[in-house]
Structure 1
Amino acid sequence: MALTAALFLIVGALSALFLWVQRSHNYWQRKGLPYVRPTFLIGNTKEMFTLENSFGLHLSEIYKAPSMQNEAVVGIYVMNKPALVIRDPELVKSVLIKDFNEFSNRYGRCDPHGDALASNNLFFVRNPKWKELRTKLTPVFTSGKVKQMYGLMQEIAEDLESHLVRHSNEQGKYSTEIKELCALFTTDTIASTAFGVRANSLENSNSDFRTQGRKVFTFTLHRAWDFFVAFFLPKLVSFFRITVFTPEFSNFMRKSISHVMHERERTGTLRNDLIDVLVSLKKEAALEPNKEHYAKDNDFLVAQAGVFFTAGFETSSSTMSFALYELAKQPDLQQRLREEINEALLAEGGKLSYETINSLEYLSMVVNEVLRLYPVLPFLDREYMGVKDKSGFSLKPFYNFKIENGTPIFIPVFGLQRDPKYWPNPDLFDPERFSAEQKGSIVPMAYLPFGTGPHNCIGSRIGLLQSKLGLVHILKNHMVRCCADTVGNIKFDPKAFVLQADSGINLEIINDRFYDNKVNT
C-alpha cells in the first residue's frame, strides 16, 4: 500500500513538473511572438550545457537565424524563464536610452552574503543604489582625471618596452601568447592608476595581482557554471553558493585595498584616483555616524576596486591582443599604423602627449574596428521593471504585446556588430569603416562595444587609452607576425562569459633592428 502511494506521489510530481515546464515553454507561443523552440527543462541553453557555444555567441546565432531576419524581437527560454532577444536598433535604443528607467538593472546578480564584493560593485548593484554610486564614481573617469593618470600609464608602457627587449632572443625575436603579454601590461596599468600600487607583473608574471586576475578569468567548467547561474539563474545564486569573485580573490582585494586606503588616510596623499574617491566616501559616511550609509561597509568600498581591476585589465588586454592578431595577418595595415605612430613620435621627440595619442586617426580606426569584430562582452542584459502606473512595456508598432515585469532582456552585441545589414563584409577586419568619410554612416545602436546610455561602461576612456598606449609601445620598435602556432581562424572558448580565444593567440614579435638587417642582407 505504501509503495503504491509513493508511486502515485512520484508520478503526480513528475506530471506536475511536466505540465509546469510545458506551460512555461508555451509562453511566447501564447503571446503570439516569434520564438525559438525550446528543449525540455533547459529551454534554449542546450548549447551551453553541451559546450557547443557560449551563451553570448549563442544569442548572436539566434539573432542571425534566417527565420528571424524580419523580426524586431525573438522569444527564448533561459531554462523555463521566458526572455527576449532584441534585434531592432530602435528597440535597443529604447531599452538602453529612451526608456532606461524601466530597464536600469541588469538581469544578472550575485549572492550578497557569499559573494559580497561581486554583489556590491557598480556592475551588479541595483537601483537606486546604482545611480548614487555611479554619480560618486564618475569623476574618477572624466577626461581631465584620465589625463592626470597618463604619466603613470607611460611609466608602465616603458616597462612593457623593457620586457620585450629582455625576453627577445639573440635574433631579436620573442614568440609568445600575446594575450598574456598584454594582460601583464594592463594589470600593472590598472594597479598603478586606480590603486597607486606597483604590481610589477611585467617583471614577475606570477605577481600577486596577475595571479589573482588570471584565476578570475580562467574559465573552467566550475567557473563557467558560476557565471551561468549569476547571469541567467540569478534567483539561485545563494542556493548554489555561486561566487563570481572567488573567496581567494575577495580576500586578496580586501587585504590590498584596505592597506592602500589606510595609508592614504594616514598620509593624506592625493593621487586623483579611485582610492581617493573611496577614502572620501568613507569620510563622508563617518561624518554622520547615526545615518545609514553604504560606505560604512568596507566590503562595499573594496567591491568597487575589485570590479575596476578585473574589468580594466581584461577588456583592454583582449582589445590589444585581438588588434595585434589582425595586424599580424595584414602586414600592410600594420605598416600604415606603425608609420603613423613613428611620425608622431618623431614630431614629439620620442614621447607622445595625451592629446597626440588621442588624435592618431588610424590608431583610433584600428581600435574601433577591433572592438566591432571582438566586443569583449558579446551581449548586454537588462531586466524589465515597469513603473507603477504602467501595465508593461509596449512593443508597438512591432507587436501588440507588453513586456511583463521581471522579463530578462538580452541585446546580442556580437550579432549586431557582425550583421551584413549594417556592416558590409562583416567578418573582414577593415579599419576604413571608421574613417572620417565612412563613420557617419554607422548605425549607432549597431555598435555597442561599451554599451550606451546611463549604464554604459564608466571606464571606457581609460580602457581605450591604455589599449592605444600599449599598442604604441609594442609597435614603435617592433613588428608582429604570424608564426607556426598562430591559428588561422579564432575559435572562441565556449566556457567563457567574455570573448576569449579558445587556444590563445600565439604571435612572433620582432625587433626592428633585426628585421631591417634581415631585409638588407
Structure 2
Amino acid sequence: MLPIAATYLLAALLVLIYIWCRYTYGYWKRNKIPYMTPLPLIGNMGVMFTMKNSFYLYLSDVYKDVKMSKAAAVGIYILNRPALVLREPELIKSVLIKEFLKFANRSAGCDPHNDPMGWNNLFFIRNPQWKDLRTKITPVFTTGKIKQMYPLMSEIGTELEAHLNSYAKTNDAFVTEVKEVCALFTTDMIATIAFGVKANSLVNPNGEFRTQGRKLLTFTLRRAIDFFIAFFVPKWVSTLRIKIFTTEFSSFLRGTISHVMELREKSKATRNDLIDVLVSLKEEAVAKGEYNAQLQDMLTAQAAVFLSAGFETSSSTMTFTLYELSKRPDLQERLRNEICEAFVAEQGKMSYETINNLPYLGMVVDEVLRLYPVLPYLDREHLPKEGERQFDLKPFYDYTVPVGMPVYIPIFGIQRDPEFWPNPNTFDPERFNAENKKTHKPMSYLPFGTGPRNCIGSRIGLLQSKLGLVHILKNHYVTTCEKTPSEITFDPLSIVLSYKEGIYLKFINDKRYARNVKQ
C-alpha cells in the first residue's frame, strides 16, 4: 500500500487535473458558443490518435453534425487549445476576404532554423513576407506566361500517350493503378515547366524526381506525426526539430535548383518559367548586396512547394476524374466525343484556347473538385495588428475571437452539403453548366480557397489536369475492374485528400477514336 502522504499527494494531483480539465474544456460553454464535447487532455483530436479518421473528415463531421445544423460557428479543442470551425458563409467570407488582413497567416508553422525550406515557401510563410513573396512569384502564373508554357506541356501530353501505348503493345486492354500513371505525368510536367528539366518519369518511373516526390507524400506514422505537430501544435516544431521537407528531399532539390539556376545564368536563356523568376530574384539581391545562403534557401523553398503541390494536386484530380468516369460510361462517352471532335477540328492538335474552353471537360473537372477538393480544409490564425479591433462573430454570437486562435473552414463538408448541392455525393457535372453556375451560393465552392491567399497555381493546375485527361481519353476509355474500389477510403494519416489504397482501372484502347483523329 502507498504511504498515507503519497496517497494524499496523488489524490490532490488528481483533483487539480480534474479542476484544470473542467476549466480548460469549459471555455466554449462559458462563452456560449456551440461546441463538440471534448475528451480530457486530447480535446477533439481523438480521431487522429486512434487513426480512425483524418482531421479534415472530422471537420466535415463537425460541419454536418445534426446538433450543429443551425450553428454559425462551432467550438472545438486542438488538444487543450480552443479553436473555431466556421459554418456560416458570411463568416467564411469575412475571414477569407473582408477581414483578410486579420487572418493573413495560416495557423500551421515550420521551424525557420531546422526546416528553412518549409518556413520560407509561399504556403507557410507569414505576412508581411508572404505579400512581398507572392507579388514576386505571381508573374509565373499569369495567363500569358502559362500560354507560353503550353507547347512544353503538350509535349508531355504526347509522351503520356506513348506511355499508355506501351502498356497495350500486345493487348488492347490493360489494368493499372491510375494515380501512379497520373503522378508520373504531372511530375514530368512540373519538372519541365517549372525547372526546365527533363525528368523522364514516364520512361523511368524510378527516376530521382518521381522517387523523391513519392517519398515526400507517403504518409508513414512518422511523417504523420511531423505534419500533426506542424499543423496543430506549431509551437513545438523547433523543440522537436520537425521538418515538412525531409533532409533527403531538401538536399536533392538544393542541388537541382542550384545547378539549373547556374545553367540559366550562364546561357541567359528565357523560358518564362519559375527558374526565370528565381534567377531574377537572385540578381536583384546580388545587386543590393543581400544575397546569401539564407536567400538561396528561400528561392529553393518556392521550387519545393511548386513541385510537391504541383504534381500531387493535379494527379489526384486526374485520378478521381477517371474513377468517377469509369462508373459512368454515358458521361465518359459524352466527354470523349467532345475531346475527339476538338482534335479532329484542329488536325490532331489542341490549342491552349480550345482546351480551356471545352465546356463539358470544364464541367467534369469542376464537379470532381467539388467531390474531391485536394486541400479539404483551410486554416487561418487570428492575428490583427497591434491596436486593431479584434474580429467578432456578431451578429451570430456575442463573442470576440482572441488573438492567436486557429480558425478552420471545412471545405470537404461545405462542398457536400445538401443545402447547397442536392444529392451531394452523386457525381453530376451538370451542376456546373452555365445556367446552374449562376445559382451557386457564394462560399459554397472553395477547391482553391478564395481571397488574397487563394491557390496561386490554380490555373496551371487545372490546365495540367485537363491536358492529362485529354491525352488519356483521346484513344482510351476506362472501366472498372475487379480491383476497383466501390467506394473511396481516405487515408487517415494524410493532411491532403488521399485514398488509402491504390485505384485500379481497366484501360481499353479505342481504335474508333484513333482512326478519327489525324495524327
Class of the TM-score when normalised by the shorter of the 2 chains: over 0.9
Q: 1:266 Cα shift?
A: 1.5
CA displacement 1:405-462 (0-9 Å, x = unmatched): 0000000000000000000000000000000111111113010000000000000010
Distance 1:21 1:265, change over 3 A: farther
Match of 2:392 in 1: 394
The correspondence for 2:383, drawn from 385, 401, 409, is 385
Q: 1:298 Cα shift?
A: 1.1
**Alignment pair present for 1:474 and 2:455:** no
**Alignment pair present for 1:374 and 2:372:** yes
The AA in structure 1 aligned to 2:197 is V
Match of 1:103 in 2: 103
Match of 1:36 in 2: 36
Contact 2:110–2:244 (8 Å) recurs in 1 = yes
Whole-angstrom CA distance in 1 between matches of 2:161 and 2:514? 19
Describe how 1:442-481 pairs up with structure 2 within 5 A: 442-481=440-479
Q: 1:510 Cα shift?
A: 0.9
Root-mean-square deviation (CA, aligned residues, Å) is 1.8
Contact 2:109–2:234 (8 Å) recurs in 1 = yes
Whole-angstrom CA distance in 1 between matches of 2:253 and 2:69? 46
TM-score after normalising by structure 2: 0.96
Match of 2:174 in 1: 174
Whole-angstrom CA distance in 1 between matches of 2:207 and 2:20? 51
Q: 1:516 Cα shift?
A: 10
Q: 1:81 Cα shift?
A: 0.5
Contact 2:195–2:257 (8 Å) recurs in 1 = yes
Q: Secondary structure at the match of 2:435?
A: coil
Whole-angstrom CA distance in 1 between matches of 2:90 and 2:507? 44
CA displacement 1:88-144 (0-9 Å, x = unmatched): 111110000000000000000111122111111000000000000000000100010
CA displacement 1:320-372 (0-9 Å, x = unmatched): 00000000000000000000000010000110000000010000000000000
Contact 1:285–1:295 (8 Å) recurs in 2 = no
Q: 1:210 Cα shift?
A: 0.4
Whole-angstrom CA distance in 2 between matches of 1:106 and 1:213? 24
The AA in structure 1 aligned to 2:140 is V
The AA in structure 2 aligned to 1:252 is F
State how many pairs are aligned.
Answer: 514
Contact 2:475–2:514 (8 Å) recurs in 1 = no
Q: Secondary structure at the match of 2:443?
A: helix
Q: 1:22 Cα shift?
A: 3.0
Distance 1:126 1:163, change over 3 A: same
Whole-angstrom CA distance in 2 between matches of 1:55 and 1:275? 35
**Alignment gaps of 5+ in structure 1:** none
Match of 1:325 in 2: 323
Match of 1:254 in 2: 254
Distance 1:283 1:296, change over 3 A: farther
Match of 2:138 in 1: 138
Match of 2:160 in 1: 160
Contact 1:100–1:454 (8 Å) recurs in 2 = yes
Whole-angstrom CA distance in 2 between matches of 1:479 and 1:421? 34
Q: 1:475 Cα shift?
A: 0.2
Distance 1:141 1:515, change over 3 A: closer
Whole-angstrom CA distance in 1 between matches of 2:514 and 2:112? 57
Describe how 1:326-341 pairs up with structure 2 within 5 A: 326-341=324-339
CA displacement 1:455-506 (0-9 Å, x = unmatched): 0000001000010000000000000000010011111111111111111111
Whole-angstrom CA distance in 1 between matches of 2:167 and 2:155? 19
Match of 1:507 in 2: 505
Describe how 1:66-77 pairs up with structure 2 within 5 A: 66-77=66-77
The AA in structure 1 aligned to 2:452 is P
Q: 1:226 Cα shift?
A: 1.0
Contact 2:475–2:513 (8 Å) recurs in 1 = no
Q: Secondary structure at the match of 1:492?
A: coil
The AA in structure 2 aligned to 1:280 is S
The AA in structure 1 aligned to 2:27 is Y
Distance 1:24 1:164, change over 3 A: same
Distance 1:402 1:293, change over 3 A: farther
Q: 1:514 Cα shift?
A: 8.8
Q: 1:392 Cα shift?
A: 2.2
The AA in structure 1 aligned to 2:447 is P
Match of 1:428 in 2: 426
Q: 1:171 Cα shift?
A: 2.1
CA displacement 1:244-292 (0-9 Å, x = unmatched): 1111111111111111011111211111110111111111111111xx5
The AA in structure 2 aligned to 1:109 is G
Contact 1:109–1:119 (8 Å) recurs in 2 = yes
Whole-angstrom CA distance in 1 between matches of 2:88 and 2:413? 12
Q: Secondary structure at the match of 1:441?
A: coil
Distance 1:184 1:29, change over 3 A: same
Q: Secondary structure at the match of 1:403?
A: coil
Q: Secondary structure at the match of 1:144?
A: helix
TM-score after normalising by structure 1: 0.96
Bigger Cα displacement from structure 2, 105-114 vs 310-319: 105-114
The AA in structure 2 aligned to 1:469 is L
Q: 1:21 Cα shift?
A: 3.5
Whole-angstrom CA distance in 2 between matches of 1:296 and 1:285? 11
Q: 1:14 Cα shift?
A: 5.5
Whole-angstrom CA distance in 2 between matches of 1:444 and 1:368? 15
Q: Secondary structure at the match of 1:433?
A: helix
Distance 1:347 1:405, change over 3 A: same
Match of 1:63 in 2: 63
Q: Secondary structure at the match of 2:434?
A: coil
Q: 1:19 Cα shift?
A: 3.2
Whole-angstrom CA distance in 1 between matches of 2:324 and 2:118? 33
Match of 2:223 in 1: 223
The AA in structure 2 aligned to 1:58 is Y
Distance 1:494 1:148, change over 3 A: same
The AA in structure 2 aligned to 1:395 is L
Match of 2:128 in 1: 128
Whole-angstrom CA distance in 1 between matches of 2:58 and 2:300? 34
Q: Secondary structure at the match of 1:53?
A: coil
Bigger Cα displacement from structure 2, 266-275 vs 358-367: 266-275
The AA in structure 1 aligned to 2:409 is I
Q: Secondary structure at the match of 1:437?
A: helix
Q: Secondary structure at the match of 2:258?
A: helix
Q: 1:294 Cα shift?
A: 8.3
Contact 2:474–2:514 (8 Å) recurs in 1 = no
Whole-angstrom CA distance in 2 between matches of 1:458 and 1:15? 51
Contact 1:282–1:296 (8 Å) recurs in 2 = no
Describe how 1:1-80 pairs up with structure 2 within 5 A: 15-80=15-80
Distance 1:6 1:146, change over 3 A: farther
